[in-house]
Each structure stands twice: as C-alpha cells, then as structure tokens.
Homo-oligomer: A and B are copies of this chain.
Amino acid sequence: MSLRSALLALLSSGPMTGYDVVKQFSTSVGHVWHAPDSQIYPELRRMHSEGLLSSRPVPWGSRGATKTEYSITRDGEQALRHWQDEPEGYVRERDAAHLRAAYFEWAAPGAAATQLRAHIEHFRDQRAQALEQIAAIENRTSPTLARRLAANPEDQWERISRFKVFAYEGQVGRADQEIAWAERGLRLLEELGELDGPGERE
C-alpha cells in the first residue's frame, strides 16, 4: 500500500514519466520511501489500469519516439486523501543492528567495534542526505516542490513545505539517535575492555 501512496503523493505535484518517477525514488522521496524501478513501472501500469492514474504519450526526440507521462486522476486524489484517514499499520520490529548488538558476546575481538563504527557511518550518510533534502526544500531548489507550490495557492505554500521539512526532520532525528546509540556502544566496549584503547578509536 505504501508504494502506491508514495506514487500518488509524488504525482500529485504534476505529470511525470515513469523514468522521472524512478529518479525521484532514487533521490528525494526515496529517502523516506525507497522503491526500485522494477517495482515502480509495473505499479504505475497497475494504478493506471485501476483509474488512479491517467497517461499520455509525450514526444521523445525528433524521430517520432514517445515516452509515457502519468498524471494523477480525480480518483487518485481521492485515494490520496483516503490514505491520510487510514490508521497507520505499524509493522513488527525487525532491527538487524540491534539484534546483532544483543549478541555481541559472539563477536570476534574488534568485530563489535567495527559494526558500531559502520553503523555510525551509515547513519551519518543518511543524516547528510536528509539535511540536503531539507535544504532543497527551504531554498526552493527542489523542482518537484516548485511545481507543487506553483499549482497551489500561495497561502498553502508554507504549510506544504513545512510538512515536508518535518518528515525529513524525522529522518535526521532517527539518524542522530542511531549515531548516539552506537557511540554509547563504543563506550560500553571500552568499559568492558574490548577496545584497544583511545588510540584505536579513530
């Protein structure tokens, strides 16, 4: 359900080709909800056949080739509104890094520290990407957002933008929390005598 909601939400900013959509899932919306092209194209076609999206061929190049541009339909907008009314279906927890940490007693010397450092790196990267998205929103450099604002009355602009910033702040907060947790883990390893000493801490 959430891929389809993400697709509707994205296309509510205006028409896009499948490829444009795929690009957005590799960049902006993809930081909140990722999907690969192999999932996106078939889903677009399904949603089209269900009436949530309409499509039209758009010229590509100067030799008669076309690409397909999708637009959200009224039914699609209805579905988008309905989505916001549905209770969130929380999935049961599956956190691989926390699972691993619970059993660090099985790790070879140094392996736990390596895992925690990699965890910190991963979430620093996630954090940086989320901050980039926030900057793009606040600086109005996101073409998708610009198009969305252009299609809405000016008194909605702050509202629309702030919800997006808020969502990415959730990603930043998540990353910060995971980094802090892993740093506490490194300190725990040090207390337990499992680090070679401050010099090995980077």
Chain A residues engaging chain B, CB cutoff 8 angstroms? 2, 5-6, 9, 12, 29-34, 77, 80-81, 83-85, 87-108, 111-112, 115, 118-119, 122, 126, 156, 158-160, 162-164, 166-171, 173-174, 176-178, 180-181, 184-185, 188, 192
A27 to chain B, nearest CB (A): 12
Partner of A32, one of B2, B9, B87, B95: B95
Query: Residues of B contacting A180 with CB < 8 Å?
Result: 173
- In the complex, the answer to whether B88 meets A119 with C-beta atoms within 8 Å is yes
Q: Is A100 within 8 A of B118, CB to CB?
A: no
Q: With A159-B192, A173-B177, A181-B173 in contact, is A96–B106 under 8 Å at CB?
A: no
Classify the interface of chain A: helix, strand, loop or mixed: helix
Q: A170 and B166 in contact (CB under 8 A), knowing A5-B99, A93-B33, A111-B84?
A: no
Question: Is the CB–CB distance between B185 and A166 below 8 Å?
Answer: yes
Can you show 14 pairs from A to B with CB atoms below 8 A apart? Answer: A2-B94, A2-B96, A29-B102, A30-B92, A32-B102, A34-B94, A80-B106, A81-B107, A83-B100, A84-B107, A84-B111, A88-B119, A93-B171, A95-B170
In the complex, given contacts A6-B99, A87-B115, what are 12 additional A-B residue pairs having Cβ atoms less than 8 angstroms apart?
A9-B102, A32-B93, A33-B93, A80-B106, A84-B107, A84-B108, A85-B107, A88-B97, A95-B171, A102-B163, A173-B181, A174-B174
Measured CA separation A180–B169 after assembly (Å)? 11
